[in-house]
Amino acid sequence: MNDNKAPGQNRLAARISGLVIGALTVFAPWYISGPQATLNRGIFWTYIITGILMMTVATIALIWRRAFWPAWAFFLLTVWIILAPDTLSSAAKDVSVMHILLGVAGIVVSIFWIRRMFGRIPRDRPVVKGRTFAECSSSERTLYGLVMVVLGLGYCMALGYLYLTHAGLSGKPGLSVQDIAITYYGNRSGTRLEMALRGQMRDKISPDEMDQVVAWLKSGSTEDVYDDSIYPIVMKDCAKCHSKNSGKNLADYTTYEGIIPVATVDHGLSIEALVKLSHIHIFGIGLVSFVLGFVFTFAALPEWFKNVVIVAPFFAMVTDVATWYLTKWDPVFAYTVVVSGLILGSAWGVQIFVSLYQMIFLPGKRGPDTKPVPD
């Protein structure tokens, strides 16, 4: 009789623990900052809203005891606490430490909670066992292996393009979180043209000419200086692409009216550009994640581990795209963009390397009815 009550008692304990963690999250600002808790509105409302949502989810689970989704919702909220920009930026170490403590405690509770939810599944339910790479034919292995190699090379090219187009935007060598922030938030102390010249176009113009163009931008971008000094540089270095005669869908820098839109203060990518990039990335990364995840299902690994690695790219993709818009609002969210990208790349890397290793090095199995194929 006690054994039958144990699972229900454990699930109840997980829900109550979630309620307690949510309450601690709500009161955390006052614990950290005391009476000045509301001075930093961003951190304050992050705690309040997240804590209220956690308490709401736990309360719903206490009332609606057969619901599965509250456990997963609570898990996502605790992951958000750890991935929040206030945690990753370490601008306030006490806030970062509190986020990590609450996040880790919440993840432990949510994993325990989810395990208890899975305990409701009848043990005598038939389970379909999937095939492994050892049971695939040589032609299947060849196809899956080539897909993994090609998509892996494509991802490496994407990383190279990311570096070439974003590195140096802050004026410092290499790729940094500040470069990512400038892409979406903009360089509010500079212009789009200056950002381009210091970034992906820095090899198209000499340092002296760049300094001359930047000086013109900082002096007010007047038309007379453009006609006297900047126009010759444009014709020499830029007109090949940025002119009406180039045949390319690019801004025309050979006229003052054409160059002045990019000579104003840089506010980063526009909402229109973000929406365009968002749908391209969601469709593209979603399809790549499906293909890589499908091949990875053949790996001979524990099911829970495969599920985590398969879900991670989709979670990272949605988080990454969502934080583009948040970074345009506040550059501190660039840290979350970087972490989401690392999660996506790590999950894809595990899928590709584990799949290739098992396809190449694990011996194939021959079923009882399988006959050798003649040469």
**353 and 245 fall within a common domain:** no
Residue 123 in this model has a pLDDT that exceeds 60: no
Q: Tell me what pLDDT residue 197 has.
A: 75
Q: Residue 253 and residue 240: Cα distance in Å, rounded?
A: 10
Q: Is 188 helix (H, G, I), strand (E, B) or coil?
A: coil
The identity of residue 307, as a single letter, is N
**85 and 139 fall within a common domain:** no
pLDDT tens figures, 63-78: 877 777 788 888 888 8
Query: Measuring CA to CA, how many Å separate 112 from each of 10, 166, 308?
Result: 9, 41, 16
Q: Residue 169 and residue 198: Cα distance in Å, rounded?
A: 6
Q: Residue 310 and residue 354: Cα distance in Å, rounded?
A: 13
**148 and 35 fall within a common domain:** no
Residues 6+ apart with CB under 8 A from 245: none
21 lies in a domain? yes
The alpha carbon of 159 is separated from its chain's Cα centroid by a whole number of angstroms, namely: 14
**338 and 241 fall within a common domain:** no
Phi, psi of 25 (to 5 degrees): -65, -40
Q: Tell me what pLDDT residue 150 has.
A: 95
Model confidence at 87, pLDDT cuts 50, 70, 90, reads: low
Residues forming beta bridges with residue 265, ordered by sequence position: 191
Q: Residue 292 and residue 283: Cα distance in Å, rounded?
A: 14
Q: Is 191 helix (H, G, I), strand (E, B) or coil?
A: strand
**331 and 301 fall within a common domain:** yes
Domain that holds residue 342: 133-164+269-361
138 lies in a domain? yes
Q: Residue 365 and residue 295: Cα distance in Å, rounded?
A: 18
The proportion of the chain whose per-residue pLDDT surpasses 90, expressed as a percent, equals 16
**9 and 92 fall within a common domain:** yes
373 lies in a domain? no
Model confidence at 14, pLDDT cuts 50, 70, 90, reads: confident
Mean pLDDT of the region 267-290: 87
Q: Which of 191-205, 264-278, 311-325 holds the top average pLDDT?
A: 311-325
Query: Which residue, of 242, 263, 284, is where some domain finishes?
Result: 263
Model confidence at 373, pLDDT cuts 50, 70, 90, reads: very low
Model confidence at 285, pLDDT cuts 50, 70, 90, reads: very high
Residue 289 in this model has a pLDDT that exceeds 90: yes
Number of domains in the chain: 3
Q: In this predicted structure, which of 263-272, 309-318, 338-347 has the lowest mean pLDDT?
A: 263-272
186 lies in a domain? no
Residue 265 in this model has a pLDDT that exceeds 70: no
Structure tokens at 175: 């790729």
Query: Which residue, of 263, 279, 294, is where some domain finishes?
Result: 263
Query: Measuring CA to CA, how many Å separate 344 from each of 15, 25, 40, 271, 314?
Result: 30, 28, 31, 24, 8
185 lies in a domain? no
**142 and 99 fall within a common domain:** no
Contact call for residues 243 and 177 (beta carbons, < 8 A): no
- Positive or negative, the Cα torsion across 213, 217, 221, 225? negative
In 3D space, the residue among 45, 44, 53, 43 whose CA is nearest the CA of residue 78 turns out to be 53
Q: In this predicted structure, which of 36-45, 68-77, 199-208, 364-373 has the lowest mean pLDDT?
A: 364-373
Q: In this predicted structure, which of 3-12, 128-137, 277-286 has the lowest mean pLDDT?
A: 3-12
**12 and 98 fall within a common domain:** yes
Q: Tell me what pLDDT residue 129 has.
A: 65
**Which DSSP state fits 372?**
P
More confident residue, 177 or 267: 177
In 3D space, the residue among 367, 353, 322 whose CA is nearest the CA of residue 149 turns out to be 353
Residues in the chain: 375
Q: In this predicted structure, which of 50-64, 252-266, 298-312, 341-355 has the lowest mean pLDDT?
A: 252-266
Structure tokens at 21: 């963690």
Q: Residue 314 and residue 256: Cα distance in Å, rounded?
A: 45
Query: Measuring CA to CA, how many Å separate 29 from each of 2, 36, 88, 331?
Result: 41, 9, 17, 22
Structure tokens at 330: 């506040």
Q: In this predicted structure, which of 116-125, 237-246, 322-331 has the lowest mean pLDDT?
A: 116-125
171 lies in a domain? no
Q: Tell me what pLDDT residue 20 has.
A: 87
175 lies in a domain? no
Q: In this predicted structure, which of 19-23, 103-107, 265-269 has the lowest mean pLDDT?
A: 265-269
**113 and 137 fall within a common domain:** no
218 lies in a domain? yes
Contact call for residues 53 and 76 (beta carbons, < 8 A): no
Residues 6+ apart with CB under 8 A from 316: 340, 341, 343, 344, 347
Query: Which residue, of 241, 263, 285, is where some domain finishes?
Result: 263
Q: What predicted TM-score, i.e. pTM, was given to this entire model?
A: 0.59
**102 and 244 fall within a common domain:** no
**38 and 159 fall within a common domain:** no
The identity of residue 268, as a single letter, is G
* Category of 222 on φ-ψ map: left (φ > 0), alpha (ψ -120 to 50) or beta: beta
**256 and 274 fall within a common domain:** no
